[in-house]
Structure 1
Amino acid sequence: MLFQFKDQFPQLKLHLDKYLQYQERLELPAKTILLEEGKVSHRYIFVEKGCLRLYFNNNGDDKTVQFFFENEGLSSLESFVNNTPSMFTIETIEPSVVYVTQQKHVGKLMEELSNEPGFMKMMLQIFARRQTHYINEFVSFIRDTPEQRYQNLLADRPHIVQRVPQHYIASYLGVSTVHLSRIKSKLAKGKSHF
């Protein structure tokens, strides 16, 4: 949870460097499952290279919740913290290089850092950023049309559209691949009129 923030919060560096030895580097092909829905998450994942997705199964259909790229970290957080079955599956989308750290080492690191001045404020900032992101996504699903959500994706996170296969983007937007094709076609026609 913290490894990707060490450049933003230099006071972490000494503590984090001490825990580098506990990170396992994995080179993985696309479509590698790192955590299955229903299993307990015991590892924190940091992406050095590649793309991963977080998804759940809804009556036989995969519903993509989020994508993760270079220098981002993830786990099924509630499962990781509470030792409960994960609601999500984590899978590589492209060949990826990740570092995994076992839960016990992350726990020890967090204990050590809890004594550092400003640590709690930093943690609140990290969680607030992530919470704000998820709230914005939730509100967008209620307020915006699929076309608006796709346009937001193009404007705010074009790397997703450039790197992620269309069927995963459609799943993320909550539409079929046919509907996504129609949206893209409509937007392309709109641009050609200018």
Structure 2
Amino acid sequence: MLYKFRELWEQYQSFQRRLDVGAKTLLLEEGQRSEHYIYIEKGAVRTYFNNNGEDKTVQFFFEGEGLMAIESFMNDAPSPIAIETIEPSVLYLLPKPQVLEMVARLGAQLVPLLVQRQIHYMHEFVSFIRDTPEQRYQQLLTERPQLILRVPQHYIASYLGISKVHLSRIKSKLAKGKRHF
């Protein structure tokens, strides 16, 4: 499946716009309409929303991954999230008409990818309800160590739903626990 997607993606190269951008570049503002699929060749991106003046990070994306504000993109509605680079990044933007054409050409072959993404989000949702912030941080350490190394701590704290101070306490507690072994 991935091979077919890459092959098809290359067929749409003439429609893609390459962006070389710095860290903290806003790619989509909350409330704007999403008109592009964003592919990350190099760098890191986060999605977030504003909650009473405070950013709440929803997700992180890295090299070889793509994203869009799906609700906005598919429903031609204002985006409930913003998209911003975390690091200097090389991105490719594919406009909505070509994305929809590509999706139509792939058809049912996209279903496993969509199901995999849905399962991922469901696991995150359940973890947010069931697990403590410390358990969620430990999961990040185990399952996504590159995130811990590349993403600023205040974004990780926001993603975990805690303050930077609370994250520092968790990290300190985990470091002390390792020293006792």
- Report TM bin, short chain: over 0.9
Aligned counterpart, 1:175: 162
Instruction: Pick the aligned partner of 1:111 from 104, 109, 116.
Output: 104
Cα distance in structure 2, aligned partners of 1:11 and 1:148: 37
Aligned counterpart, 2:144: 157
**1:147 corresponds to 2:131:** no
- Superposition map of 1:43-122 within 5 A: 43-114=36-107, 120=108, 122=109
Cα distance in structure 1, aligned partners of 2:9 and 2:179: 51
Q: Aligned residue pairs: how many? A: 181
* TM superposition shift of 1:113: 3.2
* TM superposition shift of 1:14: 4.3
Aligned counterpart, 2:178: 191
Aligned counterpart, 1:135: 122
Equivalent AA in structure 1 for residue 45 of structure 2? L
Cα distance in structure 2, aligned partners of 1:15 and 1:81: 20
Cα distance in structure 1, aligned partners of 2:103 and 2:118: 20
* TM superposition shift of 1:110: 2.3
For structure 2, the 5+ residue unaligned runs are none
Identity among equivalent positions (%) equals 59
The secondary structure found in structure 2 opposite 1:48 is strand
Once superposed, what is the RMSD of the aligned Cα atoms?
1.1
Aligned counterpart, 2:113: 126
Give TM-score scaled by structure 2 length.
0.96
* TM superposition shift of 1:13: 4.5
**Superposed structure 1 runs of 4+ greater than 6 Å apart:** none
Equivalent AA in structure 2 for residue 48 of structure 1? E
